[in-house]
Amino acid sequence: MRLTHDDVRSLAGYEGQGAPVTSVYVDVDGERYPRVEDALARLESLFDAAERAADRQGHAPDDTVQRDRQAVSEWLRAMERTETAGVALFVSRGEIIAELRTAVPLRNRVRVGGEPFVLPLQVLLDRAHHVALVLVQRDEAEIYRYHLGRTWRHEEREADEVPGYRTHQGNSDLRAQKHDQHWVQRHYDETAERLRLLHAQAPLDAVVVAGPHEEAQQLRQHLAGEVDHLVRGEPVNLPVEAGAHEAGQVLEDVEHELARERRSALLDRLEASAGQPESAAFGLRHTIDAFNAGQVETLLAAETAMAPGYRADTGALAVEPGEARAYGDSEPTPVDLVDELLELAYASSSHVELVGDPEALGGHPVAALLRY
């Protein structure tokens, strides 16, 4: 499957005809997990917990989840790693019903339920940047787009020469030179319009202008409005024969810069709000209380953090089982509170930011910036 809002909605509507669906998210980043066995080992405890939760909820008739578990293991062992950093698999009755590879790592999760667990895909879509690079020369231009680690050509190269453009080889005919210049300027205007239309159809977070220095500078002068404000830095000097690979390297750097800037701005706000309970919440208890009060603007969570806790039959979350029992009539369900809070964030339209180091959150697995 492709990672688009339409595809995620379609997957969310899958009906298992009475059989549970096992949703598996795996971090297979080669730097962190050089071998597939390393990633599989991380999933073992998650599968165990998912099976216990499924038994309690009545979602696991016979050996369904065991067969799903085996299917996931076989699929991952047969997978070619290439540039894949994250994998999402959706399994029912031991059959893979959907699969997705991403160029960015995914948080390890296993969930068994009546329908696919698509929240991580929705969060990933919402956090990813859409950036474009326009490679321009005097008589043609090509646009490359980047999203979720994938680079592709937006439109086919405009192979036709600029009408009337030619080398005069000493011809001093002023009218011919003006004719050429007119079409060159029109070419820059049309390229700028292509970028404007792209941004109108699929909003961009940044634009990179690239190509020979003189032509890139000329195009830069023809950009206006929102597109002009999206341009990152000075034009990049790329050869005109550059393709998707070279463009992708530039755009990947821009994506990382945008993510760092967004994360840094949020962490600066969090640090400035320390000691101000009306502005920020630190740790599980305070963050749960903030969600209960409808105050969370942005949830920040450590990427690899897990925090055991409990969910009452009323849906209330608690750190200790005794607290959860006070909220409901039956025995509370053991859960990972970090995952539960991520779900709450999405359901309440709060922003989500994952950070690599829990120390950035004051040593806590989660923290939150509050609306008021």
Same domain, 162 and 225: yes
* pLDDT attached to residue 39: 80
**Would you call 88 helix, strand, or coil by DSSP?**
strand
Residue indicated by tokens 């749960």: 288
Any domain includes 236: yes
Asked whether the beta carbons of 69 and 76 are under 8 A apart, the reply is no
Structure confidence by residue, pLDDT tens digits, 82-111:
777 889 999 999 999 999 988 778 888 898
Give yes or no: residues 59 and 134 share one domain.
no
Counted domains in the chain: 3
Domain boundary among 213, 243, 262: 262
Same-domain status, 282 and 166: no
* Whether residue 312 sits in one domain with residue 365: yes
Q: Give the tokens for residue 119.
A: 């929240």
Q: Which of 89, 93, 85, 95 is nearest to 116 (CA)?
A: 89
pLDDT in tens, 220-278: 999 988 999 999 999 998 887 888 999 999 998 999 899 899 999 999 999 999 999 99
Q: Which spans in the chain are helix H?
A: 5-12, 36-57, 64-78, 119-127, 174-201, 213-222, 225-230, 244-272, 284-292, 321-325, 337-347
Question: Do residue 247 and residue 331 come from a single domain?
Answer: no
Weakest-pLDDT range from 33-37, 84-88, 194-198, 225-229? 33-37
Q: Can you tell me the mean pLDDT for 339-362?
A: 88
Among 119-133, 179-193, 271-285, whose mean pLDDT is lowest? 179-193
Q: What is the mean pLDDT of residues 125-134?
A: 90
Q: What is the CATH number of the domain that holds 157?
A: 3.30.420.60
User: Is the same domain home to 258 and 277?
Assistant: no
Report the CATH number that the domain containing residue 120 is assigned in CATH: 3.30.960
Please check whether residue 161 lies inside any domain of the structure. Answer: yes
247 shares its domain with 300:
no
Same-domain pairing of 215 and 291? no
Q: What beta strand segments (E) does 157-238 contain? A: 206-210
- Whether the Cβ atoms of residue 51 and residue 68 lie closer than 8 Å to each other: no
Is residue 267 in some structural domain? no
Query: Among the listed ranges 24-33, 240-249, 317-326, 331-340, which one has the minimum average pLDDT value?
Result: 24-33
Residue 333 within any structural domain of the chain: yes
In a domain, 104, yes or no: yes
Full domain range(s) for residue 302: 273-370
Residues 245 and 278 occupy one common structural domain: no
DSSP-based three-state secondary structure for 202: coil
**Greater pLDDT, 206 or 163:** 206
| 51 within domain boundaries | yes
Q: Are residues 105 and 160 in the same domain?
A: no
CATH at residue 324: 3.30.1330.30
At 58 the pLDDT is: 60
> Do residue 34 and residue 85 come from a single domain?
yes
Mean pLDDT for 149-178 is 54
